[in-house]
Amino acid sequence: MGRLKITDKTRQKGLKIAQKNNLNVVYVNDKGEFFSTENLAALSVKGDKEKYTKIEVSEEPTTHKDSSNMDVIVEIAAAKDVEQVQEILNTEKARPEIRQEIIDACYKRMDELKKEDE
């Protein structure tokens, strides 16, 4: 990983996302997008290791959720507007198997974003 410098605000947001989703670590790219795995972060910047960094949480998570769900939940938590979350929700509702945890996370994030706009 590179030497991408992040602001305290970005670090705090990353820690909040990690703690909210029971992760030990999150990765952030130079665009301010957060990821649950280094691979996803690297893919987001076409493999340029100078354009992403790791944010570690000092405490262990209390539960271990399905990692495939966690990737989506981290994406939801990092969403910057209601429309982005709505797209994820629509995609999730179209799946053959319901992942209620993700649907719940979408509604929760949309509520948070709506309150931020008030």
pTM score:
0.51
Structure confidence at residue 99 as a pLDDT band (50, 70, 90): confident
pLDDT of residue 1: 61
Residue 93 main-chain phi, psi, to 5 deg: -70, -25
φ/ψ (deg, to 5) at 28: -130, 140
Rounded Cα distance, 108 and 59, in Å: 24
Contacts 24+ apart (CB under 8 A), 26-29: 26/54, 26/55, 26/57, 26/74, 27/52, 27/53, 27/54, 27/55, 28/4, 28/52, 28/53, 28/55, 29/4
How far, in Å, CA of 73 to CA of 85, rounded? 10
pLDDT tens digit string along 25-70?
999 999 999 999 999 999 999 999 999 999 988 644 444 445 678 8
The owner of tokens 């719940």 is: 104
